[in-house]
Chain A
Amino acid sequence: MTGTALGLARVEFGITASVHFLFAAVTLGLLPVVAVFQTRWVVTGRPVYQRLTRFWGNIYLINYAVGIVTGLVMEFQLGMNWSGLTGFAGNVFGAPLALETILAFFAESTFVGLWILGWGRLRPGLHLALIWLITATAYLSAFWVMIANGFLQDPVGYAIRGGSVVLTDWAAVLTNPGALYGLAHLVAGALTAGGFVVTGISAYHWARRTEEREFFGRSLFSGLAVAAGGSVATILLGIPQFGYLSSAQPTKSAVITGKDQALAVAQAAMRAAHGPGDYAPPSIIYPLTLVMMGLGLVLAAVSLTAFALRGRVIRWRPALWGLVGMIPLPFVALIAGWLVRELGRQPWVIYGVERTSAAGGSATVAEVLTSLVLFTAIYVTLAVVDYRLIARAARAGSGAALLGAEEPVPAPV
Chain B
Amino acid sequence: MVQGFWLVLLGLFAAGYFVLEGADFGAGMVLAVLGRGDRSGRDDVVRAIAPRFLGNEVWMVATIGVVDGAFPKVGELLLGRGYPALIAILLGWLVRDAGLWFRRRGDATWRWDLAIGVASVVLAGGWGVLWGRLLGVGITLQALSAVALAGLCVVHGLAFLGRLPRGRAATFAVTSLVLASAPLLVGWAAFPAVSVSAPTLNALTPLVIGALPVLAVGQVGLWWLGRTPMRSYF
Residues of A within 8 A of B (CB): 61-62, 65-66, 68-70, 72-73, 75-76, 78-80, 83, 86-87, 90-92, 94-95, 97-103, 105-107, 109-114, 116-119, 121-122, 166-168, 170, 361-363, 367, 370-371, 374-375, 378, 382, 385-386, 389, 392-393, 402-403, 405, 407-409, 411-413
- Known contacts A87-B72, A385-B102; is A101 also within 8 Å of B80 by CB? no
Which residues of chain A are within 8 angstroms of B75 by Cβ–Cβ distance? 79, 83, 86
Do A99 and B61 touch (CB < 8 A)?
Answer: no
Do A94 and B107 touch (CB < 8 A)?
Answer: no
CB-CB nearest in chain B for A111: B218
**Chain B interface residue bracket vs A:** 35 or more
Do A97 and B94 touch (CB < 8 A)?
Answer: no
3 nearest CB pairs, A to B: A98-B69, A101-B65, A65-B101
Residues of B within 8 A of A (CB): 39, 51-52, 54-55, 57-59, 61-62, 64-70, 72, 75-76, 78-80, 83-84, 86-87, 90-91, 93-95, 97-98, 101-102, 104-107, 109-110, 196-197, 199-200, 203-204, 207-208, 211, 214-215, 218-219, 221-222, 225-226, 230-233
Which residues of chain A are within 8 angstroms of B68 by Cβ–Cβ distance? 75, 78-79, 86, 90, 94, 97-98, 101
Do B199 and A167 touch (CB < 8 A)?
Answer: yes
CB-CB nearest in chain B for A101: B65
**Chain B at the A interface: SS class:** helix
Do A73 and B62 touch (CB < 8 A)?
Answer: no
Do B86 and A80 touch (CB < 8 A)?
Answer: yes
CA separation between A385 and B200, bound complex, in Å?
41
User: Would you give the shortest CB distance from A20 to chain B, in whole angstroms?
Assistant: 12
Q: Tell me the total A-B contact number using a CB cutoff of 8 A.
A: 207
Which residues of chain B are within 8 angstroms of A73 by Cβ–Cβ distance? 90, 94
CB-CB nearest in chain B for A73: B90
Do A170 and B203 touch (CB < 8 A)?
Answer: yes
**Chain A at the B interface: SS class:** helix
CA separation between A374 and B58, bound complex, in Å?
23
CA separation between A86 and B197, bound complex, in Å?
14
Which residues of chain B are within 8 angstroms of A90 by Cβ–Cβ distance? 68, 72, 196
Do B222 and A374 touch (CB < 8 A)?
Answer: no
Do B222 and A103 touch (CB < 8 A)?
Answer: no
Which residues of chain B are within 8 angstroms of A103 by Cβ–Cβ distance? 207-208, 211
CB-CB nearest in chain B for A371: B87
CB-CB nearest in chain A for B74: A79
Which residues of chain A are within 8 angstroms of B208 by Cβ–Cβ distance? 99, 102-103
Do B87 and A114 touch (CB < 8 A)?
Answer: no
CA separation between A105 and B68, bound complex, in Å?
14
Do A409 and B87 touch (CB < 8 A)?
Answer: no
CA separation between A296 and B216, bound complex, in Å?
42
Which residues of chain B are within 8 angstroms of A367 by Cβ–Cβ distance? 83-84, 87
Which residues of chain A are within 8 angstroms of B219 by Cβ–Cβ distance? 110
For this complex, 16 residue pairs linking A to B, each with C-beta atoms less than 8 Å apart, are A72-B61, A72-B94, A75-B61, A91-B199, A94-B70, A101-B68, A105-B58, A109-B55, A110-B54, A112-B54, A114-B55, A114-B218, A116-B233, A117-B225, A382-B94, A408-B231
Do B51 and A113 touch (CB < 8 A)?
Answer: yes
CB-CB nearest in chain A for B216: A110
Cross-interface CB contact of B104 among A68, A113, A411, cutoff 8 Å: A411
CA separation between A99 and B61, bound complex, in Å?
11
Further pairs besides A62-B101, A112-B54: 13, Cβ < 8 Å: A69-B93, A79-B79, A98-B66, A98-B204, A101-B66, A102-B215, A105-B62, A109-B61, A113-B54, A113-B222, A166-B197, A167-B200, A167-B203
